[in-house]
Amino acid sequence: MIGAVQLGLLAACVVLFVPMGMAGWHLSRNKMLFFSGALFITLAVGVHLMPYFPSLSVFLSTSEVISAPISLYHDSCIFSLHSVMYSNVRECDDGPFDNHEIGCKKSWQWIESDQVAKCEFQKLKKSDASDLLNGSWVVVAGDSQARLMVVSLLELVIGSEGMERIRGDLFKRHSDYSMMVEEIGMKLDFVWAPYVANLTELMLQLKRNKNLPDVMVMGAGLWDMLHVNNASEYGMSLRMLRDNVLALLPVSSNLDAGGVELSESKSTRILHLFWVGMPTLITSMLNTDEKREKMTDEMCNSYDNELYGSKLLRESGGPLLKLDIRMLSDLCGPPCTADGMHYDGVVYDATVQIMLNALLIESNQKPE
C-alpha cells in the first residue's frame, strides 16, 4: 500500500492548489472555501473507503511490487546465510608441506550459533541439489567471478569426473557456455558479460524472448574498474541495469513467497535473482602494474558504494540478493588466492551453497 502519509500529502496539495487555481478563475473567497471544504471531505472519504475497493488499491500499489522482497531481506535466515567460517583441513605450519596451496587447504562451514541452528542451513549434496534444480533453467552472467560460481555449481551437480570432461570448454576465456545437465534436466547458461552494460543487454534480450530463467545470477565490476575506472559511471550503468531488471518482472507478485511470481506464464514459477559481488582485491598480489594502480581499496569502496546507491540489491530495496564475495573472499584471505583477485574453489563453493540455501528458503522448503 502506498503510505497514508503520501496520500495525505497528495490530498493536502489538491485541497490547497485546486481552489487556488480556481481562484485564478475569479471565484470569490467564499466559493473557494466551499470548494476546499468539499474537496477535503471527498478526499477524506475516498481515502478511508479505498481499502474496501481492492482493484483501486492494487492499482495504487503496483509500483511497490519491487519492494516486496525487502521483508524477505529482513527475514533473519536470509540475513544469516553469510555467517560462515573457514578452517584449515590441515594446519598450515603442520606437516611436511611448505607449499601453501597444499598445506593450507581450507574447508568452510556455517558458524555454530543459535541463529544458524534455527535456520537449519545445510550443505547440499549432489542429490539435494539435483532435487532442488531439477527441471530448472539457470542463467549465470558476468565476469570471472560468475564463471567461478558456475564451476562450483557444476562440480556439485555433475561431480568432479563430469567436470573433467567439460573443463576445457568452460575455461575458454571470454566466451559463453551452455550445457544441459541431462540427469536432472537442468539447463545452465553462462553468459560472458564483463560490463554491466552487457548484463543490461541480456535483460533486454530476455524481455524480447519473453522467456525467463528460474534462477538468474549476475555480477560485473572488475573489468569496469580496470578499463573505465570511474565509479560514478559504474553507478549509472547499475541504475540502468536495475531499471531493466525491474522491467522484466511482471507486476503481480507473491509477497509471501518472497520471490516475484511470473503471472503471465506458469503461475507457479518464481524468478530468483542474485548478484555476485566483487571479491576482495589484494592490491599487492595483483599481477599487473595497471591493476595495482587502478584497483585500489579506495576504488573498491567507491564501486561498492555505487552498488548500494543504485538500489539494485534487496538490502537497499532492489530485486537482487547479494552473494557477498567480497566478504567471503576476505574471510579466506591471501592463502586462498594466487593473484589477489580469483580465489580458491572453497570461496565459490560456499557462495553456491549460500545461494542454494536461499533458494530453499524462498521456495518455502525451509523454516523462515
Ligand X SMILES: *[C@@H]1O[C@H](CO)[C@@H](O)[C@H](O)[C@H]1NC(C)=O
Q: List residues binding ligand X (CB under 6 A).
A: 130-131, 134-135, 183-185, 192, 195, 197-198, 230, 232-233
Supply the minimum distance, in Å, between the C-beta of residue 185 and ligand X. Answer: 6
**Complex with ligand X: residue 310 or 351, whichever CB lies closer:** 310
**Complex with ligand X: residue 186 or 332, whichever CB lies closer:** 186
Supply the minimum distance, in Å, between the C-beta of residue 311 and ligand X. Answer: 19
Query: Would you say 271 and 213 are in contact if contact means Cβ atoms under 8 Å apart?
Result: yes
**Complex with ligand X: residue 65 or 124, whichever CB lies closer:** 124
**Complex with ligand X: residue 104 or 276, whichever CB lies closer:** 276
What is the residue type of 293?
E
**Complex with ligand X: residue 2 or 204, whichever CB lies closer:** 204
Supply the minimum distance, in Å, between the C-beta of residue 195 and ligand X. Answer: 4
Please tell me the distance from the alpha carbon of residue 68 to that of residue 83, in angstroms, as a whole number: 24
Supply the minimum distance, in Å, between the C-beta of residue 231 and ligand X. Answer: 8
Q: Using alpha carbons only, give the angle 170, 271, 266 rounded to the nearest 5 degrees.
A: 115
Supply the minimum distance, in Å, between the C-beta of residue 254 and ligand X. Answer: 22
